[in-house]
Amino acid sequence: MTVKTLVKGLYVLEALASRSGPVGVAALARELGMPKSNVFRLLNALVAQRYVMKRSEDDQYQITLKLWELGTHVMSQVDLINAASSSLEELASRSGETSQLAMLDAYESVYVDKRDGRFPIRGFTKIGSRAPAHCCATGKAELAFKAGDIVGSFEKRLKRYTSTTIVSPEQLTRELKKIRTQGFATNRGEWFEEVWGIAAPIRNGVGSVCGSVGIWGPKVRISKVVDRSVENVTKAAAEISAALGFRQAKLQPVRANRS
């Protein structure tokens, strides 16, 4: 597909979205000033991708809810960042470490917001940067709650970064099960040897995990305050989830195993 074809397809999509009802190929072609055959091919492509549906009773076309679904996904990202702002600030203040808000994108954790810690030597996160989901706390905190065979899809992507990186599907399965049970994830030098992290999942108003919040910093500091860090992180996750409309009885996090 060329860029020109893609642009024409977007014109068709926008024209359909602006209408209050279905339209035929000929009428849409006249409206757009495009050949009927071109519009027909573009419509068929959009139907195949479920952006458009063709009505069997009159062969007219109308837009589906898929665009709305994409829009709500984008809005949920904006809502998450807004909802997390004060909790992210408080988490960095309470822990002294860099706090970060992340969202899972396929096999990577994407950092969408952060607050720097107060220590001169601290974890550095750039907004928009990515980390391999299988070896960072924010990524594992979300992976644990994804439906389907998430581990199977990771089988060929478990790259080793350090001596503690999870590189076998069996080990990842055990790790994600543990995270679901205890309610938080840890990273004990799995991406960078001397950097540790702790994160917890964030749930939206319908209870689905939509992101994660966590801290990361030098092993020499975080390893000494694991339980306190878990409390701080899970508290922040609960606050953000509540701000997004999630309601659940308060649960006490399981104490972290330092081994």
Instruction: Provide the domain limits for residue 170.
Output: 73-243
Task: Write down the pLDDT at residue 146.
Answer: 87
Cα separations (Å) of 111 from 3, 81, 115, 245, 249? 30, 11, 11, 22, 28
Same-domain check for residues 171 and 100: yes
Task: Write down the pLDDT at residue 40.
Answer: 96
Which residue, of 35, 64, 93, is where some domain finishes? 64
Number of H-type helices and E-type strands within the chain: 9, 8
Same-domain check for residues 238 and 122: yes
| pLDDT digit string, tens, across residues 191-207 | 999 999 999 999 998 88
Same-domain check for residues 48 and 153: no
Closest listed residue to residue 232, CA positions, set 213, 219, 205: 213
CATH number at 7 reads: 1.10.10.10
Task: Write down the pLDDT at residue 45.
Answer: 95
List the chain residues with pLDDT less than 70: 1, 72-73, 75-78, 148, 249-259
Q: How many domains does the chain have?
A: 2
Radius of gyration of the chain (CA): 23
Phi–psi pair at 181, nearest 5 degrees: -70, -45
Neighbours of 161 (CB within 10 A): 17
CATH number at 126 reads: 3.30.450.40
Q: Is residue 152 part of a domain?
A: yes
Task: Write down the pLDDT at residue 150.
Answer: 77
Task: Write down the pLDDT at residue 79.
Answer: 86
